[in-house]
Amino acid sequence: MAEPPATAAVPAAAPVFSLGRLFPLYVAQALATGATTVSTILAALVVGNLGFESLIGLPATLISASAALSAGLFGALMLSRGRRVGLASAFALGAVGAGLGFAGARAGLLPVFLLGASLMGAAQGGYQQARYAAAESVPDSRRGTALGLLMLMSVAGSLLMTGFSGGVERLGERLGTTPEVAGWLVGGGLLGVAALLMVGWRPVTGPAQRVAGGRPNLAATFRLPGVRSTALALATAQGLMVTLMSLTPHRAHEMGVDHAGVAALISGHIVGMFGFGWLTGPLIDRLGVRVGYVGGSALLAAAALTATLPGTAWLGVSMFVLGLGWNLAFVSGSKALSRHPAAQGVTDGLGYVAAGAGTLLGGLVIARTGFPVLAYGCAVLAVLPLWSAWRAGRGVNPEAGPAAR
- Does residue 10 lie within any of the structural domains? no
Tell me the C-alpha distance between 99 and 117, whole Å: 10
Helices (H) and strands (E) in the chain, counts: 18, 0
- Does residue 11 lie within any of the structural domains? no
Q: Which residues pair with 210 in a beta bridge?
A: 10
Amino acid 137: pLDDT: 81
- Does residue 401 lie within any of the structural domains? no
Tell me the C-alpha distance between 321 and 112, whole Å: 34
- Does residue 155 lie within any of the structural domains? yes
Tell me the C-alpha distance between 82 and 211, whole Å: 17
Amino acid 59: pLDDT: 86
Amino acid 57: pLDDT: 74
Amino acid 45: pLDDT: 81
| Average model confidence (pLDDT) across the chain | 82
**H runs (alpha helix) in 226-337:** 227-254, 259-274, 277-287, 289-306, 312-337
Tell me the C-alpha distance between 121 and 63, whole Å: 4
For the chain, what percentages of helix, strand and coil (3-state, to nearest 5) are there? 80, 0, 20
- In the DSSP assignment, the letter for residue 389 is H
If one counts the domains in the chain, the total is: 1
- Does residue 41 lie within any of the structural domains? yes
Q: How far is CA 362 from CA 56, 370, 375, in A?
A: 10, 9, 9
- CATH label of the domain that carries residue 259: 1.20.1250.20
Amino acid 90: pLDDT: 96
- Does residue 114 lie within any of the structural domains? yes
Query: Are 222 and 9 contacting, i.e. CB atoms less than 8 angstroms apart?
Result: no
Dmax (CA) of the chain: 69
The pTM for the full model equals: 0.74
Query: Are 65 and 189 contacting, i.e. CB atoms less than 8 angstroms apart?
Result: no
| Nearest to 251, CA basis, from 160, 362, 102 | 362
Tell me the C-alpha distance between 396 and 112, whole Å: 46
Q: Which residues contact 350 (CB under 8 A, 6 or more apart)?
A: 68, 231, 234, 235
Tell me the C-alpha distance between 265 and 165, whole Å: 13
Q: What are the φ and ψ backbone dihedral angles of 10, each rounded to 5 degrees? A: -115, 120
Domain residues for 172? 21-207+218-393
Amino acid 402: pLDDT: 38
pLDDT of the chain along its 405 residues, tens only? 443 433 444 444 445 556 667 888 999 998 998 888 778 777 878 888 888 877 877 887 788 788 888 988 998 898 888 889 999 999 999 999 999 999 998 988 999 999 999 999 999 999 988 888 888 888 777 788 888 888 888 777 877 877 777 888 888 888 888 888 888 999 999 999 999 999 988 876 555 444 444 455 777 777 777 788 889 999 999 999 989 988 888 778 777 777 778 878 887 888 888 778 888 888 898 888 899 999 999 999 999 999 988 888 899 999 999 999 999 999 998 888 887 888 888 888 888 888 878 888 888 898 888 889 999 999 999 999 998 888 776 655 555 443 344
Amino acid 207: pLDDT: 56
- Does residue 5 lie within any of the structural domains? no
Query: Are 204 and 268 contacting, i.e. CB atoms less than 8 angstroms apart?
Result: no
| Nearest to 43, CA basis, from 222, 166, 183, 150 | 183
- In the DSSP assignment, the letter for residue 16 is P
Q: Which helix (H) or strand (E) holds 15?
A: none
Residue 107 CB coordination number (10 Å): 12
**For the segment 256-306, what is each residue's pLDDT rounded down to a tens digit?**
777 778 878 887 888 888 778 888 888 898 888 899 999 999 999 999 999
Tell me the C-alpha distance between 88 and 275, whole Å: 25
Question: Three-state DSSP class for 319?
Answer: helix
- Does residue 115 lie within any of the structural domains? yes
Q: How far is CA 186 from CA 95, 180, 181, 260, in A?
A: 10, 10, 9, 17
Tell me the C-alpha distance between 36 and 94, whole Å: 10
Q: Which helix (H) or strand (E) holds 111?
A: helix 110-127
